Amino acid sequence: MKFGDPIKTVITNFDDKGRGFTPPLAIPFTAPGDEVEATFVKRGKGMKIGRLSSIVKPSPDRVDTPCPHAGVCGGCLWQHLAYDAQLRFKKEMINRAFERAGHEERVAEVMPSPETFYYRNRMDYVIGWQGEVGLKEYGSWNRYLDLSTCLLLDKETPMILQTVRELMHELKIEPWDAKKYIGDLRYCVVRLGKNTGERMITLVVHDLVKFDDTRTSILVTRLSPLCTTLYLSENPEITDLSVGKTHALLHGNEFLTEEVNGIRYMIHPNSFFQTNTRMAAELQDAVISSLSLRRRGTEGEVDVAGARILDLYCGLGFFGIAAAKRGADVYGHELDAQAIELAKRNAETNGVGDRMRWGAGPTEALDWSAENPDVVIVDPPRAGLHPKALKALLENAPPRIVYVSCNYHRLVEELKELKTKYRVESMQALDLFPQTPHVEVVASLIKQA
């Protein structure tokens, strides 16, 4: 098969990335049951990649897409699927991964998100080299979509993106060129407090020096009516990242605040926070429910009073503070020292500073000698646990582990080692990412006798 060759086929399944698949061909933006025409565009690992040309006969799970950018934009790979089908396929893909890895565990269902559009509380809109303000095309690092709308964040987003375009033109702000490593403006990051009504806009630039008082004054005048906090953040590196090393607060509050399950969190421009606020509440509840077998009251409330909890990859204290509010003693550990400082403030704000201790550094370098936890919570990034962190977890072998995974492909691999000392007590899947193949899984592990 040569580049540009036409293909006509029927999609039979999804591959592990959520692309329509008929071995050995993967075609993004298709669904099982679609009869399609496509064009061969490149080779991937062990497969060929096609670009969808037309739908000859649609899958029964296919629906009309409300966004004009669907089918090209990298933000929504599954917008063409009915939501009940998205949940069904996520369940099937999780269980298929567990079966292939030799595990007997399965998820019974995927908890649906009550909002399938406008559910995110953060979007990182990239600036393209031709002045586009939006997102990258699916599967591309250097092709950009100039978005006229976006159904993931909120209805005010298009106004913000258009204002940024106008400011680039009026102030002669050069867009960043990721090939040549030149330009001024790299990203427009918008964060929302869904339950507080706050909005933070962060313009990530290459060099703060180029933004003098005249430029920043105009930025504030035009953008401050659209937000409660406005930052300029400098990323002087050539790496394509939407986080800054230096920050200049131009307007409003230093932090965005969000409230989940009655707990208030302060969020910095660089802070990680679960991107689906309403489902983050469900995720937090799922983790708390997995911390202990003890129950109290007619409602069966989890009793963790006095429990010693080690919260690894703790971020801003999202799970640890919730556990401390229920009487647990928590030690939170996180690589990002800035996150730890903010986690301390979040704990104090929520009245549990006296029940929490904190430490900053690599999880794999944690000194376990001072810790004797009843439960360890791990919420690693998509790459999963560092091998040394996994080894330390097994060597210290706490009675219970609650593993929060945003990448179940890593979870199934790490369970092969964890199950040498643990059994999986329960597993729950939650859809924090509608319109995408991604899904969160919470696994509760009990040490074997």
Handedness of CA 150, 154, 156, 160 (dihedral sign): negative
Q: How confident is the model at residue 11 (pLDDT cuts 50, 70, 90)?
A: very high
pLDDT reading at 402 higher than 90: yes
Reported pTM: 0.95
Distance CA 242, CA 223 (A): 19
Mean pLDDT of 378-383: 96
CB within 8 Å of 297: residues ≥ 6 apart: none
Mean pLDDT of 11-40: 96
pLDDT reading at 51 higher than 60: yes
Q: How confident is the model at residue 302 (pLDDT cuts 50, 70, 90)?
A: confident
> What H or E segment, with its residue span, contains residue 156?
none
Angle, CA 403 vertex, CA 401 and CA 404 arms, to 5°: 150
**Residue 151: closest CA among 170, 135, 131:** 135
Distance CA 433, CA 411 (A): 18
Distance CA 424, CA 443 (A): 7
Beta partners for residue 127, in sequence order: 133
Q: Which two tokens stand for residue 255?
A: 């932090």
> What H or E segment, with its residue span, contains residue 374?
none
Distance CA 309, CA 372 (A): 9
Distance CA 27, CA 15 (A): 9
Angle, CA 437 vertex, CA 433 and CA 440 arms, to 5°: 50
Q: Which fold does the domain 1-62 belong to in CATH?
A: OB fold (Dihydrolipoamide Acetyltransferase, E2P) (2.40.50)
pLDDT reading at 444 higher than 60: yes
CATH superfamily assigned to domain 276-447? Vaccinia Virus protein VP39 (3.40.50.150)
Distance CA 286, CA 109 (A): 14
Distance CA 123, CA 115 (A): 16
Radius of gyration of the chain (CA): 23
Q: Which two tokens stand for residue 406?
A: 């945003």
Mean pLDDT of 112-130: 98
Instruction: Give residue 297's pLDDT.
Output: 54
Instruction: Give residue 3's pLDDT.
Output: 87
CATH 3.40.50.150 domain span(s) along the chain: 276-447
CATH of 122-260, one of 2.40.50.1070, 3.40.50.1360, 1.10.486.10, 3.60.40.10: 2.40.50.1070
Question: Amino acid identity of 339?
Answer: A
Helix residue ranges, H only, 290-429: 318-325, 337-349, 387-396, 408-418
Contact (CB, 8 A) for 120 and 152 = yes
**Residue 88: closest CA among 407, 431, 404, 409:** 431
CATH 2.40.50.1070 domain span(s) along the chain: 122-260
Q: Please, what is the average pLDDT of the chain?
A: 96
Query: How many whole angstroms from its chain centre is CA 47?
Result: 27
> Phi then psi for 84, rounded to 5 degrees?
-65, -30
Mean pLDDT of 323-336: 96
CATH 2.40.50.140 domain span(s) along the chain: 1-62
Q: How confident is the model at residue 365 (pLDDT cuts 50, 70, 90)?
A: very high
pLDDT digits (tens, 9 = 90+) for 65-104: 999 999 999 999 999 999 999 999 999 999 999 999 999 9
> What H or E segment, with its residue span, contains residue 351?
none
> Phi then psi for 284, rounded to 5 degrees?
-60, -45
Distance CA 346, CA 353 (A): 8
Mean pLDDT of 105-116: 98
| CA distances for 65 relative to 117, 204, 442, angstroms | 12, 31, 30
Q: How confident is the model at residue 353 (pLDDT cuts 50, 70, 90)?
A: very high
pLDDT reading at 299 higher than 60: no
Q: How confident is the model at residue 295 (pLDDT cuts 50, 70, 90)?
A: low
Which residues participate in catalysis according to the annotation? 406, 440
Instruction: Give residue 449's pLDDT.
Output: 82
pLDDT digits (tens, 9 = 90+) for 139-195: 999 999 999 999 999 999 999 999 999 999 999 999 999 999 999 999 999 999 999
CB within 8 Å of 55: residues ≥ 6 apart: 30, 34, 35, 36, 62
pLDDT reading at 300 higher than 90: no
Handedness of CA 429, 430, 432, 434 (dihedral sign): positive
Distance CA 130, CA 230 (A): 24
